[in-house]
Structure 1
Amino acid sequence: MPDATSTFRYKRVLLKVSGEVLMGDQSFGVDMKTVDAVAKAVADVAAEGVEICLVIGGGNIFRGLSKAAAGMERSQADYMGMLATIMNALAMQSALEKIGVSTRVQSAIPMAAIAEPYIRRRALRHLEKGRVVIFAAGVGAPFFTTDSGAALRAAEMGCDALLKGTSVDGVYTADPKKDPTATRYETLTYQDVLAKDLRVMDASAIAMMRDTGIPIVVFSIREENSLRRTLTGEGTFTVIQDVA
């Protein structure tokens, strides 16, 4: 496998993709054209030696269930959300394997018929062998978001960065879809994000990345070649890390 260090800024990364991204232009559900586009972007960098794992949110599916979950006990609703992330993980696995990328899904909730259980050493071995690993079901417990799950897995895998693929090309002073005067930050510290309540990720995820020193890179996964350009440092994105 080619050495990624000569081309890319990071050798091993965790890519966090929100479930909403996978909706495409739909109001909820999975748009397979969008899934295929994300899979191709992952495949392109994996083929050049980047070790990559993924965490995918469940908002695209759970949004359709939200009315049913209204008034439901929080733990039960959170478990429903975890099942949504498993569905998204299987869709992404299918898209990746369709284009020849060896992929494993590991679930924090045991589901032996469809996914491996999460085992840290096994996941590390998959990455070393060049396989893409998709972590599903968050941390396997309620009251934690998939952002926290992504931060935890990035730390456990010893990732060089956590990439957050969203619908906007970085972190802004306000929602750029609602406020045309919003400006994008080039860099931020973890403390900036917490103090300004920028809500890039939940506070526990930001704190974990601060404690482990893993940078967070926020970029738009919807733009063509954005994953590659972000990894090479040529794209448009916001980097969150402590000042050296």
Structure 2
Amino acid sequence: MDKVVGSAAEALSGVHDGASFAVGGFGLSGIPAVLIEALLDSGVTGIGVVSNNCGTDGGGLGLLLAAGRIARVTASYIGENKEFGRRYLAGEVEVELTPQGSLAERLRAGGCGIPAFYTPAGVGTPVAESGLPLRHHPDGSVALTAPPKEVREFDGVPYVLEHAITTDFALVRAARGDRHGNLSFRKAARNFNPLAAMAGRITIAEVEELTDLDPDEVHLPGVFVQRVLPLTPEQAAAKGVEWRTVRA
């Protein structure tokens, strides 16, 4: 089955206000930058985003955030994205913080059809016991907190129940991919892209190189991918750097 589309706008066909998106990337490594910019151009708003983080100020998902298009974020940290922190504390966006490993497993579980699982991560902390603010009032006071989660013992060890994540769409970036949607990722880009791809009901992959893949090269099988967007050499080469440091 040929899943290649001719443009980013075509790749995003069917996106709508209020849709949820799992978005790949690890910091700025492997983010689907072309699809994010196309999503910004589409004008959709009120969307929910599930990603390791929410981009940087002026980069990645930070573009959608600054434009006021994101209503809810599920992520493992806020990081140094000042606009993300400002909007969270001002009550302009709802944020569910979850341990990084738990977030990865929640996405994987969603893709595998596993509704929930138990993990020791977060036991004895506000992650399990409630208290993590989901939303603030404009004055910075807490408007809504996360509810407590079920904790159960196995062999005398407590574990917290985490629910799987599925989303309407997933946006990912791969170093190489074929027309059938099989994908191969490079280094840190492999951390969250395969998991985000698994969680989306409609998964869209931008690929830096469209080519034939040997089965042993496939990191994510095409069954999880519905649309493939080949990038131009210029688009493939345009990658952000989160921290630029030079030798004194």
For the aligned pair, the TM-score class normalised by the smaller chain equals 0.3 to 0.5
Structure-1-length-normalised TM-score: 0.34
Instruction: Return the structure number with greater strand share.
Output: 2
Instruction: Return the structure number with greater helix share.
Output: 1
Q: Which has the larger radius of gyration?
A: 2
Structure-2-length-normalised TM-score: 0.34
